[in-house]
Structure 1
Amino acid sequence: MTTRTTPEPSGAAPLLDLQALVVAVRGRRRLWGSLALLGLLVGAALAVLLPPPPTAVTKVLVAHQEDQPNDPGTLIRTDVALLQTTRIADQALRALKSPVKPEDFMKDYAGTGLTNNLLRIDVSGETDAEAVARAGALADAFVADHVRRIREAADAEAKALLDQRDRMREELAQVNTTIGGASAQSGPKVSADLESLFARRAELTSRIADFDQRAAEARIGTPRLVAGTQIVDAPRPIRHSLPRTAATQAGLGLVLGLVLGLAVAAVGTVVADRPVLRRDIAANLGASVVAELPHRPAGPWPRRRARAARERLAASLARTVRGSAEPVSLLELGCERGASELALDFARALAADGPLTVVDGLPGRRLADRRPAPGDPAVVGGERAATVSRQERRLGVGSVAPGAAWTDLRYLGTRTVLVVRAGHGSAAWLHTVARQLADQHITVLGVVLVDPDPRDRTDGTLWDGARTAARGRSEPPVRQNGSERRRAERLPMWAARGSDSDQEDR
């Protein structure tokens, strides 16, 4: 039997219980496993149904006048951006004599900077030959545009230097003319002026020579840059491997589906607030977890082990209620099939002590409409429960799922064992079940947890040490109204609390 407990004051509960979250997400493995499998199949299907178009690749070595060893890649990124311009696309299309618009052609190619001076160009087309031709034309157009910009920059710089030189030559001619006119004069002032004029002529002559040298150097570097910009890898088609592409996209789909499934499962768990740990289920129902059962095991051997575990549990429950004249019931939440099978095993174990009738209060009359096997106890529907003789023991089977008739549960049995599937009911509904059973004065002997998490190590036992020590474990039962009941029977701890909402009051 379950020993009720009075909750001790504890610290503030965590905002998010990570252990319960992990267990709940693991319990939803069908959801995220299905999404991961769906992503895998979608990725593989896209690789087969939507193969990549024929693609060609070429590489261009680009020389820059401003190249520096510590360049962070700004120049090559500029080249990539210039490649995605309508001017270069239009030049390539003119070379190909193609009627395609430059804006449309720009969508079919892309540039990638491999290093500070190496540019990769990927171009797609209708066929491999067209893709190779497009790649060659695009590379030639880029090289031509780059060389033209280099030459224009060098010519502009040289022209600016030569213009400055010519202005200084004109100034030098004026200085020479002034010196020739002042040479025929004499006097200390004329001598000082001539000295300054000769210094100015020497300075202008030096600067003119410097501008000549700089203009020549500006043109000297251009051939080196022009020769350094060239196609180093001829255009060639890219061979796509269908198995490799399918494996890659299937792997990506698997990862994306798994991440999406885990996220959906985690969010759904937090929003639904469905307890999955023994500790939480026992606390919400106000009754200890006395046993566990697997949920629909697959395979013959697991089913045989599950059947043996169910028979052992039925024998244990029969020993617990044997000797008491009060009717007992099994009330399920989220495991109607498991509860009905357990009820039959429980009834077979109790039938050895005398006549017994099973009252089927499950929705759909699962037990009453089944074909009885030889040796099975009698089963009647809930509407015929009044016809059962008082001399016969009754075993009721019902449900506490949403929509249950709470006032009829007492006719199934004044003592009950709850058969609850882990993670099926929300915390609010478990509270409601505990309150309703307490209002009907139905004693909960314990909770049988169905489909628990195998890694759950929490304690599902409620125990009040102080009250148990004061009351003792061997108190004799007392008789009340002709039936044997336990003295000082306590209601579930949730019955003493107020309701959480108006809906639960209703």
Structure 2
Amino acid sequence: MTTRTASEPTGPAPLLDLQVLVVAVRRRRRLWSSVALVGMLLGGASAVLLPPPPTATTKLLVAHQEDQPNDPGTLIRTDAALLRTTRIADQALRALGSREKSEDFLEDYEAVGLTNNLLRIDVAGATEAEAVARARALADAFVADHVRRIRQAADAEAKALLDQRDRLRKDLAEVDRTIGEGSQDDGPKVSANRESLFARRAELTSQISDFGRRAAEARIGTPRLVSGTQIVDAPRLVRHSLPRTAATNAGIGLALGLALGLGVAAVGAVVADRPVLRREIAGHLGASVIAELPGRSPRWWRRQRVRAARTRLAASLARTVRGSSETVSLLELGAARATIGIARDLAGELAADGPVAVLDGLPGQPLTHRGRRQEDLTVVGAGDASSVPHQQRRLGLGSVAPGTAWADLQHLGTRTVLVVRAGHGSAAWLHTVARHLADQRIAVVGVVLIDPDPGDRTDGTLWEGPQAAPREETDPPARRNGTGRRRTERLPMWAARVADDDQEGR
């Protein structure tokens, strides 16, 4: 197995790798696209199956005594809140002659302040006529209540001013009586007292006149406010466009479904922790990715390219098998169909050297019942390996999926090529596979990645570096070729990739 050097710097793993998360979410596009499509269909269907009730709208011009040009809208928001009170609702229901509860009626209308003095009322009803009548009753009830409150405030202010004026008049009468009863004697003390009484009378007279004027102004401003509060837009029906409503609801459903689908896909990807990138799969298995094949049947314009890639892979694996004195096996993880196809291609390459016996250790139906038959291919069960002649070339075929009998894998071959589907096994299971293969002393030649992510730009090659550790004594011995000279076994080599960025270059 290929391992990293001990001197290679390793930093702490991030809690969340955004690149891995994006790739995992993109691979689950069927999930979130389906949820988004369902949301869009439900939104569009809601506009048809649940049409909005008939709605009427009206607009009111509301005058306030405290109106200011820089008012932030507090007064009109207060009017909108007052409109949604049981007092206004009861007045409107009495005008309509309805026995509906005011609490239920409050749920059928709403008020929105458009400007500092413009209020809009939207009312829903069982029929169009009822909606218009409700809007009219609510507008009249609010105008009457607003006018009543204005008049009550003006009357209360005027009454307070007039009461204060009457008290000052009593004080003025007392001052006049004191002046009339005053002594006719002359003297500095009497003159000073008389001057203070006259000054007091002048002050009271001025205050009485001021309070009277303010009381009159309070009553004069009331008609202006009363006339300024009125219905400026008569109640009318709100026309609903079914296509527009359906398109709006469908868009909202699409957005909500897409957000929900992406969230579920992201959470599922983080929880499942299934490696997809070449870099992660190679790191967890401790072996380099030597080839990639699509997971599904390719499009017609890619079939020739995929066929050429399968031919190159079969030729490279055939060189590895010919150059090895030990049996080589193919072990699959989530890619049984692709593994069978690779085994057939490899057996076809090796058939030129003689008959090939395939030790079928895959779970399920035997290999003879799967796909086409090959005349020069002998398939035996994993337990019948002893029946194969020793001089006949063998090719093991097995699985490392959960439930695998790890002790039986060594009978399929002491060297193996892992055929792994991207995103199938979890990181913990990939570690388990690497650990069990090492315990069984099965060397991993490389990894064939099935259904890789098309946007994966990571490097799946593990490089030992110039200061690689010496081979252990347990490694298989070098094999002599036909010339009698000793040579080392060559692993399948692939063209080196050009680094996409500085990080990969390092």
**Fold-level similarity (TM above 0.5):** yes
Could you tell me which residue of structure 2 aligns to residue 63 of structure 1?
Answer: 63
Q: Distance in 2 between matches of 1:148 and 1:302?
A: 82
1:43 to partner: Cα distance: 1.2
Structure-2 change in CA distance of 1:450 and 1:73 (3 Å): same
Provide the identity percentage.
73
The count of corresponding residues between Structure 1 and Structure 2 is 482
1:399 to partner: Cα distance: 0.9
Is residue 2:334 matched to residue 1:334? Answer: yes
Residue pair 2:324, 2:489 contacting (<8 A) in 1 also: no
Residue pair 1:325, 1:393 contacting (<8 A) in 2 also: no
Could you tell me which residue of structure 2 aligns to residue 320 of structure 1?
Answer: 320
Q: How does 1:40-439 map to 2 (within 5 A)?
A: 40-297=40-297, 299-303=299-303, 305-365=305-365, 367-370=367-370, 372-373=372-373, 375=375, 377-439=377-439
Q: Distance in 2 between matches of 1:315 and 1:372?
A: 20
Q: Distance in 1 between matches of 2:13 and 2:388?
A: 49
Residue pair 2:355, 2:378 contacting (<8 A) in 1 also: no
Residue pair 1:36, 1:258 contacting (<8 A) in 2 also: yes
Summarize deviations over 1:300-351 as a string: whole Å, max 9, x none: 4445543443233222222232243422111111122222222222222222
1:468 to partner: Cα distance: 5.5
Could you tell me which residue of structure 2 aligns to residue 503 of structure 1?
Answer: none
Q: Distance in 2 between matches of 1:354 and 1:178?
A: 145
Q: Distance in 2 between matches of 1:485 and 1:296?
A: 43
Summarize deviations over 1:348-401 as a string: whole Å, max 9, x none: 222222101222211212523225335462323333333222222121211111
Could you tell me which residue of structure 1 aligns to residue 4 of structure 2?
Answer: 5
Q: TM-score, normalised to structure 1's length?
A: 0.90
Q: Distance in 1 between matches of 2:2 and 2:383?
A: 33
1:215 to partner: Cα distance: 0.7
Structure-2 change in CA distance of 1:376 and 1:237 (3 Å): farther
Q: Distance in 2 between matches of 1:272 and 1:198?
A: 98
Amino acid at match of 1:206: S
Q: Distance in 2 between matches of 1:440 and 1:450?
A: 25
Range that drifts further, 272-281 or 123-132: 272-281
SS of match in other structure, 1:466: coil
Q: Distance in 2 between matches of 1:212 and 1:351?
A: 122
SS of match in other structure, 2:457: coil
Residue pair 1:3, 1:464 contacting (<8 A) in 2 also: yes
Could you tell me which residue of structure 2 aligns to residue 495 of structure 1?
Answer: none
Q: Distance in 1 between matches of 2:365 and 2:238?
A: 67
Q: Distance in 2 between matches of 1:250 and 1:486?
A: 69
Summarize deviations over 1:400-426 as a string: whole Å, max 9, x none: 111111111111111111111112111
Residue pair 1:108, 1:124 contacting (<8 A) in 2 also: yes
Residue ranges of structure 2 left out of the alignment (5+ in a row): 492-506
Residue pair 2:275, 2:426 contacting (<8 A) in 1 also: yes
Q: Distance in 2 between matches of 1:165 and 1:24?
A: 84
Residue pair 2:361, 2:397 contacting (<8 A) in 1 also: yes
Q: Distance in 1 between matches of 2:281 and 2:161?
A: 89
Amino acid at match of 1:437: L
Q: Could you say what the CA RMSD is over the residues aligned between the two structures, in angstroms?
A: 2.4
SS of match in other structure, 2:379: strand
Could you tell me which residue of structure 1 aligns to residue 502 of structure 2?
Answer: none
Structure-2 change in CA distance of 1:366 and 1:146 (3 Å): farther
Residue pair 2:62, 2:119 contacting (<8 A) in 1 also: yes
Summarize deviations over 1:59-108 as a string: whole Å, max 9, x none: 11111111111111111111111011011001111111111111110000
SS of match in other structure, 1:193: helix
Amino acid at match of 1:224: R
Amino acid at match of 1:220: I
Q: Distance in 1 between matches of 2:298 and 2:36?
A: 22
Amino acid at match of 2:4: T
Structure-2 change in CA distance of 1:436 and 1:183 (3 Å): same
Range that drifts further, 187-196 or 60-69: 187-196
Structure-2 change in CA distance of 1:312 and 1:375 (3 Å): farther
Amino acid at match of 1:463: W
1:299 to partner: Cα distance: 4.2
SS of match in other structure, 2:368: coil
Residue pair 2:333, 2:401 contacting (<8 A) in 1 also: yes
Structure-2 change in CA distance of 1:46 and 1:386 (3 Å): farther
Could you tell me which residue of structure 2 aligns to residue 494 of structure 1?
Answer: none
SS of match in other structure, 2:66: coil
SS of match in other structure, 1:365: coil
1:435 to partner: Cα distance: 1.0
Could you tell me which residue of structure 2 aligns to residue 14 of structure 1?
Answer: 14
SS of match in other structure, 1:170: helix
Q: Distance in 1 between matches of 2:203 and 2:486?
A: 124
Q: Distance in 1 between matches of 2:279 and 2:374?
A: 40
Residue pair 2:356, 2:376 contacting (<8 A) in 1 also: no
Q: Distance in 1 between matches of 2:268 and 2:33?
A: 15
SS of match in other structure, 1:315: helix
Residue pair 1:62, 1:117 contacting (<8 A) in 2 also: yes
Q: Distance in 2 between matches of 1:216 and 1:249?
A: 57
1:133 to partner: Cα distance: 0.8
